[in-house]
Amino acid sequence: MGTLEFNGQHYPDGRASDPGELGWMRGAPPPEDKRIAFESGNYRDFPQIRWSFSHMRELMPTLNVWRGRGAPSQFERSDMSAEIDALTFADMGGRIRRFEDALFDTYADGVVVLHRGRIVYERYFGALQPHLPHECQSCTKSYTGTLAAVLLHEGVLDESRLISHYLPELRGTAWEDATLRQVMDMQTGLAFREDYVDESSDIWAYRRAFGRLPRPSGYDGPRNSCDYLRTVRKQGMHGEFAYQSLNTQVLAWVMMRATGRSFVQLLQERLWAPLGCEEDGYVEVDPAGMPTAEGGLSATLRDFARFGEMMRCQGEWHGKQIVPESVVRDVQQGGRPAKLESGYSYRSQWWVSHNELSSFEARGIHGQRLYVAPKAEMVVALFASHPIADGAGDSITMPQLLALGRVLSA
């Protein structure tokens, strides 16, 4: 048990912040000082997120992503736990760490490692259990982007079209003259500030409008996601990379308008059912019935891994082509510019590493990650509840997963 320091503040580490040990939401009813609630807003505080990320549906309304009636698909297993736990690597600060210890130091809630499609490592920590869906945060975007790319491939959507073609109600907003491709690749100029640490930044206002954050009394802002999106104006030019979550929400809105299907139906029909997911997923929903598509999907760790494994196998899953091969290839080739400051590029809502493993990744705040590494024949599905939202644990997780990939590809 110990503490860790981030930005000059001390936090209990992964072991010490275990929500079961701390008694969060235990008892009937839980003691007042151990309650996690939407109203009070404490569900997004640390260490409460160590519980709430596995219990989002208990805090807010949700849309079900039905798995369908088929039997769940099965994973073969070949256990490498001991070997992987003992693996050592140097983090970005040069400190040598054991794989297992690094999980506690990055507040992992669960990890599944697939090698050649087999589960070689599977661990759960804190409040997470194998059958419990966990908040994917912005990894949700990679689901949305993949579905959009499939619809492009099918000709249902046209990437060169302007958003206002699909959504006339966005005329006069930042998206009026943005193409669908610009939205998919986060290349829009929006007068919108997304800072998860600064509660005065626009993303917080958006989430209050959506209903994912409690509204102060007397609140008179927009009361659902579409009404909020209509208020966003252009700033600068389209065509340069700028990570803005609202683009993904617009993307899902376009998909729903063009197909006449809801986002959860698309997830179900295109991914959950064909992948043989084990459990239903769910998505947070706004007061007008619109789903979150930029965050807010909850899935079990294994179902998250299934999505990654299908992407690793060029869209194929257990002998069936679920996503066109060309869609996956296009993601893997990366976006433009070919290298952002981080060394990554961004394509269709995926982060593309251009590293020695050719990994591409779904990434979410607080440490969510789906790491698809074709050259290592590896997929890592990782859920976490790190106290720091942005880039949480990256200086550990990035070299950790690269080291694991090197071992598995050796």
Positions that interact with its own copies (CB under 8 A): 25, 28-30, 35-39, 57-64, 66, 69, 71, 131, 217, 223-224, 226, 253, 256-257, 262, 278, 280, 285, 287-290
Query: Closest CB to its own copies among 131 and 339?
Result: 131
User: Cα–Cα–Cα angle for 338, 340, 343, nearest 5°?
Assistant: 85
Exposed e or buried b per residue across 40-62, where buried means at least 16 C-beta atoms within 10 angstroms of its C-beta: eeebbebbbbbbbbbbbbebbeb
Among 144, 135, 399, 162, which Cα is nearest to 294's?
144
Q: Whole-number minimum distance, CB 250 to its own copies, in Å?
A: 12
What residue type is 181 in one-letter code? R
Q: How far apart are CA 376 and CA 114, in angstroms?
A: 10
Q: Whole-number minimum distance, CB 123 to its own copies, in Å?
A: 19
Q: Where are the extended beta strands (E) located within 53-165?
A: 62-65, 88-90, 96-98, 108-115, 118-124, 134-135
Among 134, 136, 174, 180, which Cα is nearest to 156's?
180
- Token pair, residue 111, equals 């990890």
Query: Closest CB to its own copies among 55 and 363?
Result: 55
Q: Whole-number minimum distance, CB 223 to its own copies, in Å?
A: 7
Query: Closest CB to its own copies among 25 and 148?
Result: 25
Query: Closest CB to its own copies among 8 and 29?
Result: 29
Q: Whole-number minimum distance, CB 365 to its own copies, in Å?
A: 22
Q: Whole-number minimum distance, CB 261 to its own copies, in Å?
A: 9
What residue type is 369 in one-letter code? R
C-alpha dihedral (15, 6, 9, 125), degrees to nearest 10:
-20
Alpha helices in 137-241 (DSSP H): 139-153, 163-166, 180-184, 202-210, 225-229
Q: Whole-number minimum distance, CB 296 to its own copies, in Å?
A: 13
Query: Closest CB to its own copies among 301 and 357?
Result: 301
Query: Closest CB to its own copies among 130 and 343?
Result: 130
User: Cα–Cα–Cα angle for 102, 25, 54, nearest 5°?
Assistant: 50
Q: Whole-number minimum distance, CB 59 to its own copies, in Å?
A: 5
Q: Whole-number minimum distance, CB 106 to its own copies, in Å?
A: 27
Query: Closest CB to its own copies among 57 and 181?
Result: 57
Among 131, 65, 126, 109, which Cα is nearest to 284's?
65
Query: Closest CB to its own copies among 66 and 204?
Result: 66
Q: How far apart are CA 204 and CA 214, in angstroms?
A: 10
Q: Which residues pair with 97 in a beta bridge?
A: 89
Q: Whole-number minimum distance, CB 61 to its own copies, in Å?
A: 5
Among 73, 96, 91, which Cα is nearest to 302's?
73
Query: Closest CB to its own copies among 30 and 117?
Result: 30
